[in-house]
Structure 1
Amino acid sequence: MTETPKTPSGPLPAPPLDRVAVFIDYQNVHLSAREAFLPWGSPMKEGHIDPCAFAQALVSMRKRPSRLLSVRVYRGRPDPRNEAQATAANDRQAAVWQRGGAIVCRRPLRYPYEWPDLPAREKGVDVQLACDVITEAMTPQVDAVIIASRDTDLMPALEIVRSRRYAHVETASWAGTSRIRFQGEQAPWCHRMDAEAFEAIRDRRDYTKG
């Protein structure tokens, strides 16, 4: 006589949580937010976001059960010999974000010979971000990576992560702005953050004051 299989009692176990690493191209995200949501000519101190709140919001938008594993922020740092006040504000901002749990990766700004008539520019920030995306995606602790940027220079890194199947690749962009995608595809999935989401995660601290 064949036994009837027993039906498991009690609730089914919860599905495992995806462990998500978020990478933020900060200048790209900041300037894109200003373009999308703020009036033309708003002071540059406006439009900043709290990186950890931003990352948590992105993870909460995913369809799969997920938890935020890490938040990495990439940006330039002014030279105190050229811009002492801007450097101090940049340092204070980085310190606050780090206390909140973010990893802040900064590289020195490059000043052209014509500075200050021509602005200083970030140099090496996108390369460091791309390298870190690949490195983090290769670790067994990471199930998915979300890259917040519109910079198409990052696409080779995303292509490597996808082709090697290191981790699931997603991106993030503000509503109404452009996004990065694989050539000829709609992928990767892009999390669109609207004006309401932007207001909820804005960083309104005035870092120009010591």
Structure 2
Amino acid sequence: MVHRVVVFIDYQNVYRRARDAFGLDRSYVNGQVDPLAVGSRLSNLTTDHELVGVRVYRGMPSPKHDPVGHAAAQRQVARWRESPLVTVITRPLNYRAHGAPQEKGIDVQIAVDFVTLAMQGFHDLGILFTADSDLDPAAEAVGGMMGTGAVRLANWWDARRGAPRTVRAGGGTVYTHILRRTDYVAVHDPVDYAVGAPRKPRPPRPDGSN
């Protein structure tokens, strides 16, 4: 029997954890992953699994506050959507007077979709790729209702942090796929999506020239 697999990617969490776990340099390209490649790699780790969908969740920079980041993100998302298997769900980043912009509502959206699609029979196995323990209740809910065979987690291996957290549901332990540097290299997306993005206009010089 072939089991239908959908991979749910908490993109910003996956991106940041890859940079941290593997000591990647400051280039913002490092840490990027190709969602379809991630989905294929995870679904192929076990026999009799067929990838039927990859769902990517990420915050979207504001064209007003960050036109370069917005344009780059739009290019990136457009490339992801070239595959009919990839669905991208975005929410606007939350900008404050001080500090870096933050994602708002992404975790809730992932949790709702992870549980809802499992209950609707959209897939046989949902794999949740994130290191965010706030999403553990979603995995626990699916495992509790449908058994631990219906849910798995995925996480980068970080030698400094040691073994990933254990999530229990339905009387058993949810299996976690551990992805290492070799896996990261295999799914890394090296494209610089900021190339060609509109730049902020330079302020005029005191003499009025540009």
Residue by residue over 1:19-75, the C-alpha shift from the partner in whole angstroms, topping out at 9 and shown as x without a partner, is 011000001101111112234x4222222000000110001112x410001100001
Amino acid at match of 1:103: T
TM-score normalised according to structure 2 size: 0.85
The answer on 1:173 being equivalent to 2:159 is no
CA distance in 2: counterparts of 1:81 and 1:119, whole angstroms: 15
Q: Does structure 2 conserve the Cα–Cα contact (< 8 Å) formed by 1:145 and 1:170?
A: yes
Residue by residue over 1:155-176, the C-alpha shift from the partner in whole angstroms, topping out at 9 and shown as x without a partner, is 1111111111176110001122
CA distance in 1: counterparts of 2:172 and 2:63, whole angstroms: 43
Comparing 136-145 and 185-194, the one that deviates more: 185-194
Report matched runs for 1:56-75 at 5 Å: 56-62=40-46, 64-75=47-58
* Aligned residue number for residue 108 of structure 1: 92
* Aligned residue number for residue 25 of structure 1: 10
Could you tell me which runs of 5 or more consecutive residues in structure 1 were left unpaired when the two chains were aligned.
1-15
Could you tell me which runs of 5 or more consecutive residues in structure 2 were left unpaired when the two chains were aligned.
197-210
The answer on 1:120 being equivalent to 2:134 is no
* Aligned residue number for residue 4 of structure 1: none
Report matched runs for 1:46-195 at 5 Å: 46-62=30-46, 64-101=47-84, 102-114=86-98, 118-165=99-146, 168-176=150-158, 179-182=164-167, 187-195=173-181
CA distance in 2: counterparts of 1:174 and 1:43, whole angstroms: 19
Amino acid at match of 1:193: L
Amino acid at match of 2:153: T
What is the CA-CA distance between 1:186 and the residue it aligns to? 8.0
Q: Matched residue pairs, number? A: 190
The answer on 1:44 being equivalent to 2:28 is yes
TM-score normalised according to structure 1 size: 0.85
CA distance in 1: counterparts of 2:168 and 2:53, whole angstroms: 28
CA distance in 1: counterparts of 2:156 and 2:137, whole angstroms: 22
CA distance in 2: counterparts of 1:204 and 1:97, whole angstroms: 13
Amino acid at match of 2:79: V
What is the CA-CA distance between 1:183 and the residue it aligns to? 5.5
Q: Does structure 2 conserve the Cα–Cα contact (< 8 Å) formed by 1:38 and 1:47?
A: no
Bigger radius of gyration among the two: 1
Q: Does structure 2 conserve the Cα–Cα contact (< 8 Å) formed by 1:20 and 1:70?
A: yes
Amino acid at match of 1:152: S
The percent identity for this pair of structures is 36
CA distance in 2: counterparts of 1:141 and 1:81, whole angstroms: 37
Residue by residue over 1:135-166, the C-alpha shift from the partner in whole angstroms, topping out at 9 and shown as x without a partner, is 11112241110000011111111111111117
What is the CA-CA distance between 1:180 and the residue it aligns to? 4.2
Comparing 169-178 and 89-98, the one that deviates more: 169-178
Comparing 191-200 and 125-134, the one that deviates more: 191-200
What is the CA-CA distance between 1:127 and the residue it aligns to? 0.3
Amino acid at match of 1:28: N
